[in-house]
Amino acid sequence: MVSGSCLCGELTYQVRLYADKIFNCHCRFCRKAHGADYVTLALADANTLTLVDHKKLLREHKNSLGGYRAFCACCGTRLMNYGPDKNKYLSIVVNTLDTALSHYPVAHCNTESKAPWCEPYEGIASFEAFPPLGK
C-alpha cells in the first residue's frame, strides 16, 4: 500500500498500486488537465482504495469517453482517474504520492499526441497509443 495527498492536504488516500504498471501519459487530455508535457500514472487496485475527504472537496470531471478525472476543489491537485466502474480502471497520479516509489515508469504512452518540443527520455518502451497494460 502507498499513501498520497493533494497539495493542500485536505484529501488523502491509500491504495495498492500495480507497481509494474506505471507509465508516462502524453495524451492531450493529460497534458491539458495537468498543464504539463506529460503525467506519470500508475494503475491501482480499486478494491484497496480508501479516500479521506472530510470537507467533501473531491470533484470529478467527466470526459467525453465516460471516464472521470478527480481533483481537489481547494488546491486543484489532480489525484486520480477512473471509469464509471472503478474496479475496471483506476489510475493514480504518481506525483501525489507521499510514499517513495520502489518502481519507475515502464513506458511512455500516447506519444502520437505528445508536445512537439517534448523528447520522451530513453531507456523505456514508447507507444504511440495506449499500450497493452492489462491487469
C-beta of residue 67 within 8 angstroms of C-beta of residue 81 = yes
Closer CB to Zn ion, 2 or 70, in the complex: 70
Q: Taking the complex as a whole, how short is the minimal distance between the CB of residue 72 and Zn ion, in angstroms?
A: 3
DSSP 41-62: EEEEEEEEEEEE-TT--EEEEE
Nearer to Zn ion, 8 or 36 (CB): 8
Residues that bind Zn ion (CB under 5 A): 6, 8, 10, 25, 27, 30, 72, 74-75
* CB of 54 or CB of 102, closer to Zn ion: 54
| Contacts of 53 by beta carbon, 8 Å cutoff, 6+ apart | 10, 11
From the CB of 11, what's the least distance to Zn ion, in Å?
Answer: 5
